[in-house]
Amino acid sequence: MSFQGKLKRYLLVLERVHRPATFAQLRDHLEQHGFPISVRTLQRDIEQVRVELGLEIVYDRDTNTYSLPDATDGRTTVMPLLERAVLGQLLGASGEAIRKAAPHVVMERSGTLQGMGHWAGLLRAIQERQAVDVRYQRFQSDAEQTIRLRPVLLKEYRARWYVLGGAEGYPVPISLGLDRILDFRTTGKRFPEKEREAVEAYYAHVIGVDATPGKAERVVLRFTPLQGHYVLALPLHASQRVLRNDADGCVVELFVMPNIELRQELLSLGSAVEVLEPESLAEAIRNEHGKVGGMM
């Protein structure tokens, strides 16, 4: 079996164990999608998902089912990367394959490709814990600047990629858009593991990449019953916890910084969401809605 086939099998297995499935149901799911495999191969795939991807598929003897617990470390990152890897394998066979697929695929127009040439080099610097000198040009300035960055994370948000890390001259970690990076070079200087831990902790309670408010707090939101389905299927943040979900709507709690990205997310939902706590965020959202209403 090709590497492409193996990736697709992994994705199908993970797709099915989002809800508990017996071994027979897993085999049926794979067969329905064009992968009739032996018992031994499926057993090996389940094990390799753990070894290669770090995702533990748990077997429950009482129900005789396999499932992927929500708390599995790395799941929120590994799954999207695996999906994209499979898509890349599907379309990467030739330029002709991409051309033929194009009329049948709708994608958002965005600048995701801009700056992607830096992705692999920055990932290597992150893995090797090497500081880099980045030539950078911000949107709000024509002037270039050179930033010595200790890169820790690559993060995608709203179709743009960012590199997050500590930087000389900055008291807290920063984020740089890959599309604004003109060039970078490795310095050969390594930084300690504790830098990674500090940056990860700093951004742990951030939606998007704006951490300027600097303080996480409890945020309680009430969604309409319909919007609640979407929020439960695609949580706003890893800290999301459901407080109530009934015919009157869905109430969730987050522990995040009330930054500009959170406000933009809430504003985009209009009347489908109401901020219950904190009052400062509720007031900010009301004021923004009032500005929009006054312009109409």
Instruction: Name the band, by pLDDT with cuts 50, 70 and 90, for residue 246.
Output: very high
Residue 71: the pLDDT is: 44
The domain that holds 154 is classified in CATH as: 2.30.30
Q: How far is the C-alpha of 284 from the C-alpha of 211, rounded, in Å?
A: 17
Please check whether residue 64 lies inside any domain of the structure.
Answer: yes
Residue scoring higher pLDDT (67 or 104): 67
Whole-prediction pTM: 0.70
Contact 274, 264 (CB under 8 A): no
Residue scoring higher pLDDT (137 or 93): 137
Please check whether residue 105 lies inside any domain of the structure.
Answer: no
CA atoms within 13 A on the CB side of 236: 32
Specify whether 186 is located in the same domain as 256: no
Last residue of a domain, one of 87, 104, 131: 87
Contact 269, 230 (CB under 8 A): no
Q: In the chain, pLDDT over 70 holds for what percent of residues?
A: 82
Kindly state the DSSP code that residue 272 receives in the 8-state scheme.
Answer: G
Residue 239: the pLDDT is: 93
Provide the domain count of the chain: 3
The domain that holds 38 is classified in CATH as: 1.10.10.10
Specify whether 11 is located in the same domain as 78: yes
Please check whether residue 104 lies inside any domain of the structure.
Answer: no
Residue 90: the pLDDT is: 59
pLDDT tens-digit series, residues 5-49: 787 888 888 888 888 999 999 999 888 888 888 999 999 999 988
Q: How far is the C-alpha of 116 from the C-alpha of 94, rounded, in Å?
A: 20
Residue 157: the pLDDT is: 86
Please check whether residue 136 lies inside any domain of the structure.
Answer: yes
Q: What tokens were used for 151?
A: 């890169």
Report how far Cα 295 is from the mean position of its chain's Cα atoms: 34
Residue 99: the pLDDT is: 64
Residue 73: the pLDDT is: 47
Specify whether 60 is located in the same domain as 121: no
Q: What tokens were used for 188?
A: 């050969």
Q: What tokens were used for 177?
A: 């858009």
130 pLDDT more than 70: yes
Q: How far is the C-alpha of 144 from the C-alpha of 182, rounded, in Å?
A: 9
Note down the domain range covering 282: 217-295
Phi and psi of 105, rounded to 5°? -125, 135
The owner of tokens 């522990």 is 255
Residue 23, burial from CB neighbour count under 10 angstroms (0-12, 13-18, 19+): middle
β-partners of residue 156 are 161
Residue 249: the pLDDT is: 93
User: Minimal CA–CA distance to 44: which of 60, 33, 34, 57?
Assistant: 57
Contact 198, 169 (CB under 8 A): no
Residue 48: the pLDDT is: 87
Residue scoring higher pLDDT (91 or 165): 165
296 pLDDT more than 80: no
Q: What tokens were used for 272?
A: 């489908």
Specify whether 221 is located in the same domain as 282: yes
Q: What tokens were used for 102?
A: 């194009």
User: Minimal CA–CA distance to 273: which of 217, 227, 236?
Assistant: 227
152 pLDDT more than 60: yes
What is the average pLDDT across 225-252? 94
Contact 221, 252 (CB under 8 A): yes
What is the average pLDDT across 189-217? 89
What is the average pLDDT across 87-94? 59
Residue 77: the pLDDT is: 64
Q: How many Cβ atoms from other residues are within 10 Å of residue 11's Cβ? A: 18
Specify whether 235 is located in the same domain as 284: yes
pLDDT tens-digit series, residues 37-83: 899 999 999 998 888 877 888 999 999 999 887 644 444 567 667 76
Please check whether residue 92 lies inside any domain of the structure.
Answer: no
